Amino acid sequence: MKRIISLSLIFVMLFSLSMSSIGQSQFVRVFIDGQYRDVRKVNVYFNGQTVVGNSPSIIYQERTLVPIRAIAERLNAKIEWNQQTEEATIITSTKKIVFKINSNYVTVNGVKKPIPYNTPAKLMDDASTMVPLRFVSEELGCEVLWDAPTWTARINYNNGENPPALNQVSDIAVKNISGNALPQIEIKTSGQARYTTMELSNPDKLVIDIHDSKLNVNGSGYIEKAVGKWPLQTIRASQFDQDTVRVVLDLSKMVRPQITTPNVNTISLNFTNKLEKITKEVINGKEAIVLHNMYPQEYNSFTLPNPNRVVVDLRNTIAPDSIGSISTGVVGSVRVSQFSNDGSYPQGEKVTRVVMDINSSYTSPTLSVEKSNDKMILYVNGQSTGGGTNPGTNPGTNPGNGKLIMIDPGHGGSDPGTTSVSGKYKEKDLALNVALKLDKKLKALGYRTMLTRSDDRRVELRERTKMANDNNVDAFISIHFNSVDNAPTATGLETFYSSKNISKIKLQDDYPYAKKIQDGIVSALKGRNRGVIDRSLAVTRDVKMISALAELGFISNPNDEKIIVTESYLEKCAQSLATSIDNYFK
């Protein structure tokens, strides 16, 4: 019995450690005081429950800052924001507290007073008002306790009421394990649940944190299910902390499920392919139409006459927002849409229909299909009536296709960005060096280009995004170099984008573009892959077109600095970005 208990304890400890290691990274990159900075995240609890906001709570200049809205909502306080004066106001039944961005003074019930420790409110990522945690909490009648080893602040507030009971996560069920449909997960809760998600790579995992909740599946605080149906290998869940249930999906590939809440007691996850893009390629001397991000590759195909068309129905697949103009010698045009199910497929299944219109110079079209990893390669042939191009030859390419690319060297002028650890190099100069090289390389590939700056001058973020939107550019690439305070060993490459969940003006999904950029720079520069990160940044969030921000290395790392500042490295940066952009549009 002792041995069984010991083994059980070891298993629980190992699982807890592994789950914690997947947990939040200690640092987060934010835009604050005119610069991108890596700052430490902190945990904040209010009456024992996790405080979750649109932005993380952070340590900045040795003080804890929290999103004003996250704290105010816990106290049922009203928030007002004056854009013109940059003032944020918290209003309760007894207090009116006015913070002014970057001011060391605050007004409480009409009385102006200094903020202790000179900790002013800050604007973070151009969107979140961050206020000093201890000051605002104590002004509103709360007690603040700080746990240094775990970087955790605990706010206690007693208004004579008991805190609300935690949700119970009572069941985690996996459906559609057999048959062709992709897996579906249903998480059952006792009430409306708040959740956040996080993607991890190497190996691919999707993490869902369900807040203000306790795990209680048949009386157990731990669950693990082997699934083995693409893309879901295993699903695990445990009590991550005292009020957060963590669900971990081990994936064979990072496929983003559609997450919905069909009712107050259910979180539903449905795995569905999203057709990433369609390109024309010449493979072994033959023209091919290539469908990207198609795995598993389940499809139906058929031809239609008058006019001649080849149709491919992609099962369990969401259509892309747009595909551009695609043609071959035989195929005059390609169209794609989300098929309105007419009963040909099971109810609720997502089907993407790809229609290839046959050039009038060809009859009797035929289709052959090859599969390569996550690609479907379509070869369409036909009988020539005498005016067609031989489909077995390469009819030539139109490099760049005249697409307009906006190149954005970060910072500039009075905004130097970060400075290298030696103090000799500024981020703004390195970014401009790469941008000017990239400009020449893209033009050589047949692209049109614009730069947000071509010399050392300051350009405000809103000017950069307005320039891109007003000129209807096809793609936006922002160039930066990285830095972390007091972390000289930080290293690697990362690319940021803003998903449609963050940006309200996006016309299509930016992830494929950002992923192409990240893959290209990692391959060429041989740096550590820090991943593709969804973040609310002005230059990716506030532009309509596809956009990405590439961080091309840490100049706060003394070893990396020696390599990064060389002309050969900067040349590789420009070449890898040009190649990545060109590969995306091919």
Q: Where are the domains of the chain?
A: 43-156, 167-271, 274-384, 404-585
Name the strand (E) or helix (H) holding 210.
strand 205-211
Extended beta strands in 264-308, E state: 266-270, 273-274, 278-283, 286-292, 299-304
Q: Are 288 and 294 in contact (CB under 8 A)?
A: no
Q: Which positions ≥6 away from 17 have C-beta within 8 Å?
A: none
- pLDDT tens, per residue, the chain with 586 residues: 333 334 444 444 434 434 443 334 578 888 888 777 888 888 888 877 787 766 788 998 888 888 888 777 777 778 888 877 888 888 887 888 999 999 989 998 888 888 877 888 898 877 788 888 888 888 888 888 888 778 888 888 766 555 556 788 989 988 865 555 578 899 998 887 788 888 888 888 999 999 888 888 887 778 888 888 878 899 999 998 878 899 999 988 777 787 888 887 889 888 777 788 898 888 777 788 999 876 666 788 888 888 889 999 888 788 887 787 888 888 888 999 888 766 777 766 778 899 999 988 788 888 888 877 778 889 998 887 754 333 433 333 445 667 889 999 999 988 899 999 999 999 999 999 999 999 999 988 888 888 998 888 888 898 899 989 888 889 999 999 999 887 889 999 999 999 988 888 988 889 999 999 999 999 999 999 999 999 999 999 999 999 999 999 999 999 999 999 999 999 999 999 999 999 998 8
Whole-angstrom distance, CA of residue 433 vs CA of residue 577 = 13
Listing from the earlier edge strand, what are the strands of the sheet with 96-100?
78-82, 87-91, 96-100, 105-108, 111-114
Q: Please check whether the two domains, 167-271 and 274-384, share a CATH topology.
A: yes
How far is the C-alpha of 55 from the C-alpha of 124, rounded, in Å?
8
The CATH architecture to which 404-585 belongs is 3-Layer(aba) Sandwich (3.40)
User: Hey, which CATH number is domain 274-384, 2.60.40.3500, 3.40.50.300, 1.10.10.60, 2.60.40.10?
Assistant: 2.60.40.3500
- Residue 127's closest CA among 498, 531, 548, 509? 498
- The number of angstroms, rounded, from the C-alpha of 539 to the middle of its chain's C-alpha atoms is 14
**How many Cα atoms occupy the beta-carbon half-sphere of 167 within 13 Å?**
26
Q: Between the CA atoms of 550, 556, 557 and 559, what dihedral angle is there, to the nearest 10 degrees? A: 100
End-to-end CA distance of the chain: 64
Provide the CATH number for the domain formed by 167-271 in this structure.
2.60.40.3500
List b or e across 321-357, with b for residues whose CB sees 16 or more CB atoms inside 10 angstroms.
Answer: eebeebbbbbbbebebeebeeeeebeeebbbbbbebb
Fold (topology level) of 43-156 = Copper Amine Oxidase; Chain A, domain 1 (3.30.457)
Provide the whole-model pTM: 0.39
Residue 295 CA, chain-centre distance (Å), reads: 21
